Structure 1
């Protein structure tokens, strides 16, 4: 059984994962409007992944006989800056998600909730990957500078991202 504190924090995490998806979808729309289809595709797939993360928490709470309590999701921004600024925001956002996962894990440790620690291990590893990917794209964008050619190449590379569900 989940402690009340861990249950409450996991319910909040569902909201935050869905917000992450909403944020990345808004960023994707921004890139679609600017005709940068590769950036848009990468962020759209990222949005889908965040929704899947929310569902993992949803299922886990049910598996542990807890009550899922859905919360209101804030609207994401509708205006974004340059690709560098956007991916700086992606990295900051992923770092904040990592901090949240670490909080959940620390609560599970305090509670001696070994099942939740095992469940959260997947998210700990996932956040390493999320931050690595955001950093990689940001580094590419910074290296590109004002080169339109480099921007087209980055856009093309990001457009090759595969939907992990389609790969299975």
Structure 2
């Protein structure tokens, strides 16, 4: 992109670059959640599979929200290449722990972009990311609640089915 076009952006170039990184992170999350949904389907956790299909869609929506924001501010959104998706999990608990670890990384990434936007007085980007900060609180809380339920219920016998059934409470929530 030439210098004249970059001068006409409504967004700081550093913010645009960081948001393109966030687009890739959201796309990776979407693909990871599809892999988790597949594992759940193959292992009889059908409600959990629905949960992860929904999560995958939400992550793609987040990616597109950022993509459109960059377009609207005159930026150059980049469609990311995705690789390195894990398809192997040892248990439903392993899946939800992986999901929580990923959501924590996403939260830290968004906080970093907000911090950089604040430092460069990119108020537009900072305000745009307010919604994402609150969304991450919800995402992390949901998965922590599910992990707490797994801890209380256990993974043996009926507990296994109870876990999958209870995950349904978070699909519509």
TM-score for the superposition, normalised by structure 2: 0.89
The answer for unaligned runs of 5 or more in structure 2 is 1-9
* 1:115 and 2:124 matched: yes
Moved more, 138-147 or 41-50: 138-147
Moved more, 97-106 or 140-149: 140-149
Larger radius of gyration: 2
Deviation per residue, 1:70-112 (Å, 9 max, x gap): 2311231121111111111111110000000001101110111
Partner residue, 2:100? 91
Moved more, 70-79 or 3-12: 70-79
* 1:20 and 2:37 matched: no
* 1:82 and 2:82 matched: no
CA distance in structure 1 between the partners assigned to 2:54 and 2:36 by the alignment:
12
Deviation per residue, 1:110-158 (Å, 9 max, x gap): 1111111111000000010011001001111111223322221221122
The alignment covers a number of residue pairs equal to 164
* 1:135 and 2:154 matched: no
SS at match of 2:121: coil
* 1:159 and 2:168 matched: yes
CA distance in structure 2 between the partners assigned to 1:125 and 1:160 by the alignment:
20
What is the CA-CA distance between 1:2 and the residue it aligns to? Answer: 1.5
What is the CA-CA distance between 1:34 and the residue it aligns to? Answer: 1.0
SS at match of 1:74: coil
TM-score for the superposition, normalised by structure 1: 0.92
